[in-house]
Amino acid sequence: MAHVLCPNCGHQGSRVLESRGSEEGAAVRRRRQCSKCEHRFTTYERCEHQPLFVIKRDGRRQPFDREKLRGGLERASHKRPVPPEAIDALVDRIESAAVRSGGEIRAARVGEMCLGGLRRIDQVAYLQFAAVYRQLGVEDVQAELDRLTPEMTSKL
């Protein structure tokens, strides 16, 4: 369900109030609220077609962009012996985590999973990824970074 329209006013944007997940592949019941007229309604969405979102620290939601995520991980792995399958597997894991949590995942969690995954694959790729996040000033990822590796990040 790529576009959920408000049954009351036809507006496309809505906020998820509540998600009730079930086993993978089954329908997910969502309570939504239209961001225009505030009408509340319920949708039943199937996991495999469900739109995924990343929730930023300020609460804004962005569509989960698989390619963008893969691109970031590939840049971090530039000239490193990181097999593309390992990147794919990591992206898959993050996507699955978003599906399991009702189609939404916090940006900090994405960053944490990227870092955790890269760290197991290649230490240098991990540090390069961490460095990019520091440059961008992504505070929540920074917090996760500090929590994960105080001794390593202090050297960057």
The answer to whether 72 and 114 have CB atoms below 8 angstroms apart is yes
Task: Choose between 18 and 38: whose C-beta lies nearer to Zn ion.
Answer: 38
Out of 26, 37, 131, 136, name the contact with Zn ion by CB under 5 A. Answer: 37
Buried residues in 28-43 as b, exposed as e (16+ CB within 10 A): bebebbbeeeeeeeeb
Q: Cβ-count burial of 24 within 10 angstroms (0-12 exposed, 13-18 middle, 19+ buried)?
A: exposed
Task: Choose between 6 and 105: whose C-beta lies nearer to Zn ion.
Answer: 6
Task: Choose between 17 and 136: whose C-beta lies nearer to Zn ion.
Answer: 17
The yes or no reply on residue 106 touching Zn ion (CB under 5 A) is: no
The yes or no reply on residue 17 touching Zn ion (CB under 5 A) is: no
What is the contact surface with Zn ion in residues (CB under 5 A)?
6, 8-9, 11, 34, 36-37, 39
